[in-house]
Every structure is written in structure tokens, then in C-alpha cells.
């Protein structure tokens, strides 16, 4: 079963998270397939830019609680998106949760429909947005993150744009995307590669400095008793024991 759909038009390779039955959760298999697809795009001289999108009503629900990727694999995937010398553009028309926001923040440009919504839900499961902070923290308003990291509240596309998680949002996401992709097609491969390197330098510094510590923290939290309770409660559709 293929978990990543692939199409190409005018030098833009579209990679679609295609596991709608799991709400495109980040399983070990999906993370591996997406990494392989991005590697192919990086090597293919016919690809000018990559669009990362989804099937179904959810862009990505975060880690697959039944088959989570190892934190190292998620770090490597996020770094690959940031580090590849071709622009990666997120196209979102649905819900984005937890680890899905890491994918969003790793992309160079992110656009969404006005009906999309977002939440850092880790704190409600007994864990923390550790690994995804590598791309999220350098690109997002810190005061807003303090609220949404700590509360797990949902917020809309307008707010996501205001705080820096999105580049733009609109009723018709493809209309928003059209001038962006046109601009990328008109840009030289060398110009895009070198400009992206300038833009991502601070994000990659965070990976170099913090990836090992945040990977260890993620593994520690996911194996904790509170995380087991939070994830069990989520799967059983009940409140965890700590809810007052």
C-alpha cells in the first residue's frame, strides 16, 4: 500500500499524504515513504519545487499512536524538508495536529484554506512538542506559542498566519498558491537553492544545537506513565485521569 501520492505538473512535484483512514498520522511507514519521495525530488533535475499536501479532511494528525516513528526518524524527516535545496510548499485544507505542525513549520512556504484548524495537542496526552520545536520555535511568535503549547487549544488559519506558522490563507487555497508556484517556476534552480540556504540557516542551527536533547526528551516522555494514560484515554475517547 502506497502512503504517499505523487504527481507532477510544470516542474512542481506534489506529494500527498495518502492515509486518510489514519488521518495521515505519522507512522513509521509514512515517515519512511515521505523521506524517500523527498530524496527522489532532490535528485531529479526536472523538479523545481515540491508541494506537500494531503487526502481526506486532515493534513496530519501527528504521531500514529499505534505505530509511532522513532524520534530520530522524525528529526531526520524534518531536517530533510528544511535542508533540501528545493523549496517545499505546504498546501493544507483540513486539520493539523501535533507532529503535523512540525511538517508545516519545516516547509519553506505554507498556505491553507480558511477552514483549516491547528492545535499542539501533545500537552493533553502527557508529552511535549519536543522534536517538532526544532522548526517551529525559530519560525513562530514565542508569546503565541506559549499559549498554544501549554493549553492545546485549537486555532484557525487567520491566527496561524498571524503567528508565523502559515505564509497565507484564503477561501480558495489553490488561488493563494497559484502566484507562489508561478514565482518559483520563474526562478533559477541555483537562485532558489542559495536563497533557501540563507533563509534556513537559523532553523538548521537549532537542529545542530538541540536535536539530540529533544530526541532524548521525546523518547523519555513517550515511555512515561502519564503518556501511557494520555494515549490510552485518547484511543478510548475519554478524559485522562488528570482532568479536573
Q: Which helix (H) or strand (E) holds 216?
A: helix 189-222
> Is 216 inside a domain boundary?
no
Beta pairing partners, 156: 117
> Is 43 inside a domain boundary?
yes
> Is 201 inside a domain boundary?
no
> Is 212 inside a domain boundary?
no
> Is 244 inside a domain boundary?
no
Share of the chain above pLDDT 90, in %: 97
User: Cα Rg for the chain, rounded, in angstroms?
Assistant: 17
Does the structure show a pLDDT above 80 at 80?
A: yes
> Is 30 inside a domain boundary?
yes
Beta pairing partners, 86: none
Q: What is the distance between the alpha carbons of residues 215 and 79, in angstroms, rounded to a whole number? A: 13
Q: What is the rounded average pLDDT of the residues 34-49? A: 97
Q: What is the pLDDT of residue 1?
A: 76
What is the count of structural domains for the chain?
1
> Is 46 inside a domain boundary?
yes
Q: What is the rounded average pLDDT of the residues 17-32? A: 96
Please tell me what DSSP assigns to residue 233: H
Q: What is the distance between the alpha carbons of residues 236 and 194, in angstroms, rounded to a whole number? A: 48
How would residue 192 be classed by pLDDT, with cut points 50, 70 and 90? very high
Q: What is the distance between the alpha carbons of residues 40 and 64, in angstroms, rounded to a whole number? A: 25
Query: Domain with 55 in it: what CATH number?
Result: 3.90.226.10
* Cell numbers placing 185: 517556476
**Nearest-CA neighbor of 62 among 108, 24, 92, 90?**
24
Does the structure show a pLDDT above 90 at 68?
A: no
Residues 6+ apart with CB under 8 A from 11: 46, 47, 48, 49, 185
- 144-191, pLDDT tens digit by residue? 999 999 999 999 999 999 999 999 999 999 999 999 999 999 999 999
Q: Which domain holds residue 66?
A: 4-172
Average pLDDT of the chain, as a whole number: 97
Q: What is the pLDDT of residue 155?
A: 98
> Is 241 inside a domain boundary?
no
- Please tell me the pTM assigned to this model: 0.96
Q: What is the rounded average pLDDT of the residues 216-225? A: 96
Amino acid at each position: 500500500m502506497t502512503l504517499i501520492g505523487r504527481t507532477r505538473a510544470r516542474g512542481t512535484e506534489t506529494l500527498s499524504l495518502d492515509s486518510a483512514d489514519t488521518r495521515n498520522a505519522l507512522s513509521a511507514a509514512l515517515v519512511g515513504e515521505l523521506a524517500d519521495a523527498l530524496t527522489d525530488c532532490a535528485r531529479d533535475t526536472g523538479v523545481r519545487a515540491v508541494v506537500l499536501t494531503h487526502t481526506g479532511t486532515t493534513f496530519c494528525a501527528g504521531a500514529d499512536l499505534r505505530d509511532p516513528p522513532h524520534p530520530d526518524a522524525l528529526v531526520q524527516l524534518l531536517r530533510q524538508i528544511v535542508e533540501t535545496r528545493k523549496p517545499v510548499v505546504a498546501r493544507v485544507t483540513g486539520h493539523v495536529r501535533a507532529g503535523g505542525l512540525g511538517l508545516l513549520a519545516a516547509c519553506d512556504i505554507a498556505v491553507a484554506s480558511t477552514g483549516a484548524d491547528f492545535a499542539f495537542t501533545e500537552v493533553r496526552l502527557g508529552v511535549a512538542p519536543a522534536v517538532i520545536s526544532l522548526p517551529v520555535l525559530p519560525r513562530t511568535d514565542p508569546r503565541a506559542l506559549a499559549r498554544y503549547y501549554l493549553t492545546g487549544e485549537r486555532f484557525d488559519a487567520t491566527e496561524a498566519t498571524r503567528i508565523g506558522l502559515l505564509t497565507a490563507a484564503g477561501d480558495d487555497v489553490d488561488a493563494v498558491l497559484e502566484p507562489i508556484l508561478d514565482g518559483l517556476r520563474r526562478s533559477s534552480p541555483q537562485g532558489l537553492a542559495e536563497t533557501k540556504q540563507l533563509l534556513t540557516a537559523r532553523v538548521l542551527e537549532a537542529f545542530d544545537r538541540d536535536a539530540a536533547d529533544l530526541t532524548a526528551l521525546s523518547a523519555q516522555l513517550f515511555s512515561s506513565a502519564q503518556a501511557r494514560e494520555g494515549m490510552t484515554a485518547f484511543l478510548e475517547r475519554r478524559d485522562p485521569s488528570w482532568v479536573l
